[in-house]
Amino acid sequence: MTDNRALRQFLRLMSASGISHLPTVTLPKLAAAPGKLLAARLKGAAPSTPQPPARNKSASQTQLLSPDRLVPNSAQRPEILESTRSLLEQTFHTAEQQADGLSKLAEAVSACKRCAELADTRRQTVFGVGNPDAEIMFIGEAPGADEDRQGEPFVGAAGKLMDKIIAACGLKREEIYICNILRCRPPGNRNPHPQEAANCREFLDGQIKIVAPKYIVVWGTVAAQNLLGESRPVGRLRGQFLQHGDAKVMCTYHPSYLLRNESAKKLVWEDMKFFMKELGIDLG
């Protein structure tokens, strides 16, 4: 089956039929990984990690989180918006449907004032950007000053560093979908409060559901802990694949941290090599 859309529909049909395990497909190494070639490879790759209840990384280097860890914190989730609920109940078969779903969700976000302090101080909401049908999603912490000004995630100094990492991996920014735990800038770039993360969670869940990435790269401890309901810092979460829904998750340090800690760049590069190897790309 060469048509990717048909393949995705076929996989969804299998999933709906209760078939959740596919054999691993071993991909040959690439000497170089130009963006288009990588995109073609990703689109053609079958899920390489089946979902048996492997609870340690020894079998597949994928760790399934126990259900209690999926509760992110003790903050109360607000009642889900009706518009988000109906989006979460839909299925998205085409990139056009995915783009339309994201656009509707962004509209709800732009009117959101759940976090009174953030809604009062933001210039605008920062929803997310990128390919609505991306195989790879990046999730960061929250918008900073530059993002708040431009309305796009990862556009400041940290964003420029992320762009370099993306390019070094042979990827293109527009192939990826990029968003944050929060869609509004916390004043002074403080960490998101647990309640703010809980308030914004339905929008993140909506983006993940609509884009349906195969892989999620989580940047920084705050994002990792909030997405995964983890208490471990990123230093203890990196170097393995975790599972969130249907997506395999890899955690690494936030680019802002790298700007303050030059020595951590080496660790992030190790993580990206580990990640790209999972995609069949050997970065050496």
Q: Taking the complex as a whole, how short is the minimal distance between the CB of residue 225 and ligand SF4, in angstroms?
A: 17
The closest of 38, 42, 50, 37 to 4, measured between CA atoms, is 42
Pick one of 139, 158, 200, 279: the residue that binds ligand SF4 (CB under 6 A). Answer: 200
CA 278, 238, 197, 122 dihedral sign is negative
Of the candidates 53, 95, 40, 76, the one whose C-alpha atom is nearest the C-alpha of residue 199 is: 76
276 binds ligand SF4 (CB under 6 A): no
Work out which of 148, 183, 257, 276 binds ligand SF4, going by CB under 6 A.
183
Strands (E), 151-277: 177-180, 215-219, 241-244, 247-252
Determine if 222 is a binding residue for ligand SF4 (CB under 6 A).
no
Which of 199/207 has CB closer to ligand SF4?
199
State in angstroms the smallest separation of the CB of 247 from ligand SF4: 21
241-244 and 247-252: which strand pairing?
A: antiparallel
The three-class DSSP label of residue 129 is strand
If the CB atoms of residues 193 and 265 are measured against ligand SF4, the closer one turns out to be 193
Q: Residues 102, 184, 208, 267: which binds ligand SF4 (CB under 6 A)?
A: 184
**Which of residues 133 and 147 has its CB atom nearest to ligand SF4 in the complex?**
147
**Site map 59..98 versus ligand SF4, x via CB under 6 A:** ----------------------------------------
- Cβ-Cβ contacts under 8 Å for 48 (sequence gap 6 or more): 24, 25, 278
Tell the smallest beta-carbon distance from residue 89 to ligand SF4 (Å).
20
From 164, 168, 161, select the one nearest 144 (Cα to Cα): 161
CB 221 within 8 A of CB 127: no
Binding site for ligand SF4 (CB under 6 A): 109, 112-115, 118-119, 125, 182-184, 196, 199-200, 203
